[in-house]
Amino acid sequence: MIDFNTARVRGHRQNIERYCRLLATELTDLERQYLHKRIAEEYAQLEQLETAASPANAWQGNTRVEQMASSSGQ
């Protein structure tokens, strides 16, 4: 059985691949802009899913930010 998050990640990756294939075809400038926007949105959603999948990494990232803030003299 496939995990729900794994299926969502796969879906976003497939969308990105499909949009990239479409970019290789003859398109108007408006259609190209739309596809670039969709690719950026899909990458953002993919990044969000991958970050949420590993909360330990997100926590470590926050710790580094806090350490940097405290070492800057605050």
Q: Which residue has the higher pLDDT, 9 or 54?
A: 9
Residue-range domain boundaries for the chain? 4-71
In tens, the pLDDT along 27-69 reads 999 999 999 999 999 999 999 988 887 765 545 544 444 454 4
pLDDT band at 3 (very low <50, low <70, confident <90, very high): confident
Residue written as tokens 């991958």? 50
pTM of the full predicted structure? 0.67
Q: How far is CA 3 from CA 47, 50, 59, in A?
A: 17, 13, 23
Q: How far is CA 8 from CA 1, 20, 41, in A?
A: 14, 18, 14
Asked if residues 39 and 16 have their Cβ atoms less than 8 Å apart, the reply is yes
